[in-house]
Amino acid sequence: MTRQNYIFTSESVSEGHPDKVCDRISDAVLDAFIAEEPEARVACETFATTNRVVIGGEVGLSDQDKLKDYMERIDAIARECIRDIGYEQDKFHHQTVEITNLLHEQSAHIAQGVNAGNDKDEGAGDQGIMFGYATNETEALMPAPIQYAHAILRKLAEVRKSGQEPTLRPDAKSQLSLRYENGLPVEVTQLVLSTQHSGEDQTSADIRAIVEPYIREVLPDGWLTDKTEWWVNPTGKFVIGGPDGDAGLTGRKIIVDTYGGAAPHGGGAFSGKDPTKVDRSAAYAARYLAKNVVAAGLADKCSIQLSYAIGIAKPLSIYADTYGTGKVDESVIEQAVAKAMDLTPRGIRNHLQLNKPIYQRTAAYGHFGRAPDEDGGFSWEQTDLATELAKNA
C-alpha cells in the first residue's frame, strides 16, 4: 500500500511566467493553423527575453500558398497573446517587443513516417513514453497540491485582469505543501506565493494583505490553520517580471502542466505540438483512461503508461499501476483500456476530437483537472468511459 500520512508539495506558475508566455504563443500559433486546416502539422517553439520574442519550428499545410499567408500572421498572433496576458512594461510591451519568425516547412523525412499510406496507418509523430494519472482525492480526480496551486493563480489573474487589484502584475508563482492523513489532504503546512506588482514601495506584508483573502476563498475550509507558514514575496520587491526579468522557453514547465510531481512523467512537453505528436495526444489519452478507471471505481489511484515508436501506429505497450488501491488486477485494467479506446494516433485524435483549435487555453494552469468545454476543449477530462470500463473489468 502507498503511504497514508505524509507531506507533499507542488508548484504552479501563472500565465505571465516567462515560460508560460512562450507556451501560450506556441499554442496560439498551433490553433491558428488547425483552424485553417484540422490536420495541419505544427511543432512551434518560442523563446522570450527582454524586448524580444523568437518563434521557430516546423509547420505544414497542404496548400503552400496558404502557408505563406499564415506565416505573415505570426507577428500579430504573438502580440495578441502578450497583450491578453497583460504585459505593457517598458522592456516587454505587446506593441514594441521585437518578434522574429523563423518557422519553416515540416521535414519531409518526419512527414513520411507520420503520414498514412496505401499500406500503412498514420504513424506516431515520435517515439517516447507518456503517462496519465488520476486520484480520487479531489472532485477533478487530480492531486490536491497542484490543483489548488493552479486555483490560487487563476483567481489572482482574474482579479488582476478585472481591475479589482490594479497593483498586481502578470508574473507569479505559487507552491503548496499539503499534509495528508489517512491518504487525504487535511492541512496546508507551507504556502509560498510570489507575485509581480507595480508599487516600488509595496512590501511583502502589503502583498500578503492583497492576496490572502483570495487564497482563503480558493482553498477548502480548514486547510489553513494557525500552524500554516506563509511565504509571500519572500525576497521582497518583485517589480521587474516576465521575460524582462528572466528568459522564457516553450516546454520548460512540464511538471506544472501535469500532476505537480505526484505521478511519473514521460519527459515530453505539450505546447506548440499538433496532436499527431504523441507527446501531447497520448498523454491526454493516458490521463483520459486513468481518470475513467478511477471514476469507474476500479481504483482510488491509477497511472497509465503508453509507449510509441515513430512511424508505428499501435502503442508498443500499455501499463497500469494502481498503487495498491485497485479493486481488480492491473492486467485486467490494461486489457479493459485497450479494448475501450483505439490508441493509435488517429484513433486518439478521433476519439477525443483533437483536430480543433482548442490548445491556447491549455497553456497555463494545467492541462488536466479542467472542466470539458462545449467546443471540445479538455475533452480528455470527460468520464464517459467509466461505465464501459467497469463492465469490461
Q: Which residues define the annotated binding site for ATP?
A: 17, 171-173, 237-238, 246, 252-253, 269, 273
* Catalytic-residue membership of 361: no
Binding residues: 17, 19, 45, 58, 106, 171-173, 237-238, 246, 252-253, 269, 273, 277
Q: Which of 247, 309, 338, 390 is catalytic?
A: 247
* Catalytic-residue membership of 368: no
Q: Which of 36, 37, 58, 88 is catalytic?
A: 58
Q: Which of 169, 179, 197, 253 is catalytic?
A: 253
CA distance 176 to 267: 23
Residues 6+ apart with CB under 8 A from 299: 293, 322, 323, 325, 326, 327, 333
Query: In Å, how far from its chain's centre is CA 344?
Result: 22
**Which residue is associated with the grid cell 481488480?**
328
Binding residues for L-methionine: 58, 106, 246, 277
* Catalytic-residue membership of 252: yes
Q: Which of 8, 11, 15, 19 is catalytic?
A: 19
Q: Which of 11, 20, 290, 300 is catalytic?
A: 20
Query: In Å, how far from its chain's centre is CA 294?
Result: 21
Q: Which of 11, 31, 45, 334 is catalytic?
A: 45
Q: Which of 33, 47, 131, 238 is catalytic?
A: 238
Q: Which of 27, 31, 137, 279 is catalytic?
A: 279
C-alpha cell at 286: 493516458
φ, ψ dihedrals at 173, nearest 5°: -140, 145
Q: Which of 169, 252, 301, 351 is catalytic?
A: 252
* Catalytic-residue membership of 20: yes
Beta strands in 25-125 (DSSP E): 41-49, 52-60, 88-89, 92-93, 98-105
* Catalytic-residue membership of 247: yes
In degrees, rounded to 5, the angle at the alpha carbon of residue 112 between the alpha carbons of residues 108 and 113 is 125
43, 106 in Cβ contact below 8 A?
yes
The span from the first CA to the last CA of the chain, in angstroms, equals 21
C-alpha cell at 137: 482525492
CA distance 213 to 236: 20
* Catalytic-residue membership of 238: yes
φ, ψ dihedrals at 120, nearest 5°: -155, 150
Q: Which of 169, 173, 280, 367 is catalytic?
A: 173
* Catalytic-residue membership of 227: no
* Catalytic-residue membership of 296: no
Binding residues for K(+): 45
Q: Which of 273, 280, 287, 301 is catalytic?
A: 273
* Catalytic-residue membership of 339: no
Q: Which of 24, 291, 254, 262 is nearest to 128 (CA)?
A: 254
Q: Which of 160, 179, 277, 351 is catalytic?
A: 277
Query: What does the DSSP 8-state code read for residue 228?
Result: P
β pairing state of 184-197 and 229-232: parallel
Q: Which of 15, 17, 41, 149 is catalytic?
A: 17
* Catalytic-residue membership of 121: no
In the 3-class helix/strand/coil scheme, how is 36-58 assigned residue by residue?
Answer: HCCCCEEEEEEEEECCEEEEEEE
Q: Which of 206, 246, 330, 388 is catalytic?
A: 246
Q: What residues are labeled active site?
A: 17, 19-20, 45, 58, 173, 238, 246-247, 252-253, 273, 277, 279
